[in-house]
Structure formats: structure tokens, C-alpha cells
Copies of this chain bind each other. A is one copy, B any other.
Amino acid sequence: MEPSSIAIIGASSVEGKAGNAILKNLIKFSYSGKIYLINPNEKEILGHKCYKNIKEVPNSIDLAFIVIPAPLVLQAVKDCVNKVKYAVIISAGFKEASEEGKKLEEEIVRVARSGGMRIIGPNCLGIINSYNNLIATAVTFDTFRKDNIAFLAQSGVLAGSYAKWIIDTQKFGIGVSISLGNKSDLDEVEIINGYLKDDPNIKVIGVYSEEIKDGRKFVEVMKETTKHKPVIMIKSGRTKEGARAILSHTGSLAGDDAIVDAALRQTGVIRVEDFGDLLDLVKVFDYCPLPKGNRVGIMTLSGASSALAIDMISKMGLRLANLEEETKKWVEKEIMPPYQPAKNPLDVWIALGAGAEKVHRVSIGALLRDPNVDMVLAIMLALPPSYFDAKKVFPEFLELVKKKPLIAATEGDKKTEEWFNILEEMKIPVFTGQKSIKSAAKAMGALYQYKMYLEKIGVA
């Protein structure tokens, strides 16, 4: 993950090819180690000299990317051993493609191991360690953003698509991302154990896995890891049909889902269903502190949203906080019309006469300050009467949200986009769209679940 030299076997001058994209990314994001290109038909690509074979490179190499047709990969691996420490095989056409490909993959791993070389892939999209300016993927990026989040995915295309989606549309970024492809040698367990578990830059780990190779080792490593940082995981192949499909694309056996579920529960790993939930949770764990308990304070501008939110937090094992008398009195004095008592949820539509900016400042502030509230859910409705400038309200909460999770769910019109941008810049998580309340409730539930786990094992 911190190589001082890289080789690209199959470096290419052709736009759109993986062997071109990796090189471009390395140059663009200022990778500072040595780069050796291997291509027998070119003299130089983007100012870097090409070698005909990796054996010609005078020095030993930390990391080689292999981006050549599948039938040529075994020879390239043979050329690498005793010279290269790690190889990332981008090429496809192995276990996922045919019985023959499976045998070839096994032979490659055997050869590599015999020379002490470890492998990521094949059939993967590359690796990222933004703390080392190592953006080495077959997908090109225009910009990049560092963050405390690591992703490991037993998948190629999708890992690339989500990395791109994060960088292009979100406010959070990526610390480490590894596309594990067929997971022929190195898997998430070894990478977490050997690197991510103790990497001080990484605060949260997200994993997409189709197969857990060594269950006992998995449990041991995850138990140790979740003491220090949350691990959010998708394990697909929950159903028989899903498991069969997996067999045919990465050639993996998904295993009995009930056993997987039981194993995950004892490790403190938080299991989710899909990438939507995975991305929601890594964001919330990155942005928020853990809550002290499960008492939620809710601000809303609609009774219906309030009712749905309560249904959803209850389903997640959370409950409504009983506000302190002082809090209620203050909210009533500051914003409520005379006949309207303040209670949790604070339904403040009726208080908009006091001005939407003040209503949000007072109601969200009151919940953040109330000692009976462990987490705050602000359901922000964008309709003209409730428009306000979020920049004038949220900066004053920045100290408070370091100690108590504040999660926003938006409803309504396009004003929500502006709120999203402002709040997320401040690392206050915002869920938008028509399922925003459900997503927020799930996220709060996960924060509490992890906190409970840490308490149970005596860490928190």
C-alpha cells in the first residue's frame, strides 16, 4: 500500500485501455515513487521509458500491475517472481470465465507463492491509497479527495463505479480502496489484518464480499478490528439463487447464509444489504461520534414525517427521548405559538411565524443541548415557508456535533440540494430523496448497535 516502485506490465498509449488509465492516474495524482513501464512494442509512453520485459528492469519492484490478455499472465507472473513483492492482476478471463481459466488462476497463485509474491485479483480494477498518492485504477478520475474511509470489494466494475460516484457526487472521499476481483490470493481478511486494522488514517472500513474463505480467521481478525474501528459489510449470496450467480462470476462459493450471519454477529461487524446502505453507514461513522444511548430527539415540520420517523427508529431499537422541562420551556418561549406545547418530536411547522432560520436554530440547538437526547434527527422540509440559509444556522452546532450525532433527512423541493452541500461540507450527514427518513433511522440504529457492541465487549 506504500510502494516505492511500481511496474505496469501492459502499459498502453491507447486512451481508454486499463494500462493507460493506471499510468495517467499515477501521474495526475503525483505518485512519487518510481514507475517502470513494460511494453515490448513501445519505446516510451507519457514520458516514461518502456522495457520489453520486467526482467530488464535493473531494480527490485514493490508492486506490479498486470494488464495483459489472460493467456499471457502466467508467463508475466513467472517473470515477476523474485523481483516483485506484490502483483495486482487486472486481466479477466480466469476462474470467473471457465474451468480452464480456474486452473490457470490456481497455477498463477502457485507460481507466485513459490517465489514469495502475493497477488490481488485477477479480474479486478486496481487499488487506491490516497494517503500515498497512489491512485492506480483502470477507471480514471478528474479529481480526488482523501478521507478516513477504506473500501474492499470482491468485485471489479462495481468497485470502480462506486469510487467514481463518491468522488464525483459526494462530499466525503476515499482513503484506501481495493478491488479484490476473484480474490485468488489476498483477501479482505489479510488486508485488514496486515494493514487497515492499524492504519491511523483509516477510521471506517466498508467491505463487499461474496465469499469468506477462512471463517475462523475472519472472525478472529474482525473481532480485533472492530475494537478500534467499525466495519460495515455486504455479504451477498444470501439466497440460493444469488449464491449460484456468484459462483459464475467470481467463481466463489457463497456459503450458508445462516452461518455467515451468526459469524458476523459475534464479530461486531455491521451487516447491510446493499451498496446504498454501505455508503450511508461509512459516511455516518466517518462524520459522527458514537451516541451515549438510544434516545432520539426529532425535529420535524410535518406530523406525517414525524409518525413515520418514530415507526422507523422504533424498528431500529431506538426510542424517543423525554425532553427536559427546561428544554421544552425554552423552545416554547423562543418559537412556539401560545397554544402549542413543545414535545419530542418537535413539530415546528406551526412555529414558522417566528422565522424559519430561528426555528431551526432553536429546535435543533435545543435537542443537541438536552442531556436526555443521545442523537438528533433533523427532518428538514424544503417548501418556501420553511426555506432558510443553513450557513447561518449550522456553524454554531459544530462543537456540539462532535459529542452527539446530528443526522439530517431532507424532504421537499430542490432547496434540499443546497442544504446537502452546506451541511455535508461541515461533516453533518444528510440523507436526501424520498427514502431519507428510513436511511437516517437505519444509520442511527447502526451507530447505536456498534456502541452497544463496544460496551458489551468492555471497550466503550
A157, closest chain B residue (CB): B302
Contact status A164-B413, CB under 8 Å: yes
Contact B249 A279 (CB under 8 A): no
Whether a CB of chain B sits under 8 angstroms from the CB of A191 is: no
A169 and B414 contacting across the interface, CB-CB below 8 Å: yes
* A384 contacts chain B at the CB level, 8 A cutoff: yes
Tell yes or no: A139 within 8 A of B by CB. Answer: yes
| Interface residues on chain A, size class | 35 or more
Contact A302 B413 (CB under 8 A): no
A124 to chain B, nearest CB (A): 11
Task: Judge whether A245 and B319 touch: CB under 8 Å.
Answer: no
B307 and A242 contact, CB distance less than 8 A: yes
Q: Which residues of B contact A433 (CB under 8 A)?
A: 276, 433
**A383: B residues at CB distance < 8 A:** 139, 157, 160-161, 164
5 A-B pairs with C-beta separation under 8 A = A158-B381, A160-B383, A161-B383, A238-B314, A274-B435
A97 and B308: CB pair below 8 A? no
Nearest 7 A-B pairs (CB), nearest first? A249-B303, A276-B435, A276-B434, A155-B304, A239-B314, A242-B311, A157-B302
Check A279/B434 contact, CB under 8 A, given A241-B319, A304-B154, A383-B139.
yes
Contacts of A193 in B (CB 8 A): none
Of A38-46, A58-66, A343-351, which stretch is located at the interface?
A: A343-351
Partner of A381, one of B157, B308, B312: B157
CB of B385 within 8 A of CB of A16, answer yes
User: Complex Cα distance A407/B65, Å?
Assistant: 38
Query: Which residues of A from 233 to 278 have beta carbons under 8 Å from B?
Result: 234, 236-242, 245-246, 248-250, 273-277
**Contact partners of A248 in chain B: CB under 8 A:** 343
A132 sits at the interface (CB 8 A): no
The answer for the CA separation of A279 and B165 in the assembled complex, in Å, is 25
A201 at the interface (CB under 8 A from B): no
Bound-state CA distance A307–B275 (Å) is 12
Question: How far in angstroms is the closest Cβ of chain B from A170?
Answer: 10
B residues less than 8 Å from A436 (CB atoms): 276
Flag if B301 contacts A157 (CB, 8 Å).
yes
Q: A interface vs B, CB < 8 Å?
A: 16, 92-93, 96-98, 139, 153-161, 164-165, 168-169, 208, 210, 234, 236-242, 245-246, 248-250, 273-277, 279-280, 301-308, 310-312, 314-315, 319-320, 339-340, 343, 345, 347, 349-350, 381-385, 411-414, 433-438
Q: B241 touching A161 by the CB < 8 A rule?
A: no
Shortest CB-to-CB span from A386 to chain B, Å, is: 9
Measured CA separation A280–B434 after assembly (Å): 9
Considering the chains assembled together, what is the distance between the CA atoms of A93 and B340 in angstroms?
9
Query: A373 vs B416: C-alpha distance in the bound complex, in angstroms?
Result: 40
Q: How far is the CA of A306 from the CA of B236 in the complex (A)?
A: 10
Contacts of A343 in B (CB 8 A): 248
Residues of chain B lying within 8 A (CB to CB) of residue A310? 239, 241-242, 245
The verdict on A412 contacting B345 (CB below 8 Å), with A210-B307, A241-B319, A438-B276 known, is no
**Is A246 touching B210 in the complex (CB atoms < 8 A)?**
no
Chain B residue with Cβ nearest A438: B274
Q: Are B339 and A97 in contact (CB under 8 A)?
A: yes
Query: Which residue of the partner chain B has the closest CB to A279?
Result: B434
Q: How far is the CB of A108 from chain B (nearest CB, A)?
A: 18
A347–B156 alpha-carbon span in the complex (Å): 13
User: What is the distance, in angstroms, from A371's C-beta to the closest C-beta of chain B?
Assistant: 21
Q: Which of A237, A343, A350, A434 has the most CB of B within 10 A?
A: A434
Give the chain B neighbours of A97 by CB distance below 8 A.
Answer: 339-340
Docked-complex contact A412 and B276, CB < 8 angstroms = no
Q: Which residue of chain B has its CB nearest to the CB of A307?
A: B236
Do the beta carbons of B236 and A158 come within 8 Å of each other? no
Task: Give chain B residues whose Cβ lies under 8 Å from the Cβ of A168.
Answer: 413-414
Measured in the bound complex, the distance between the Cα atoms of B412 and A161 in whole Å is 5
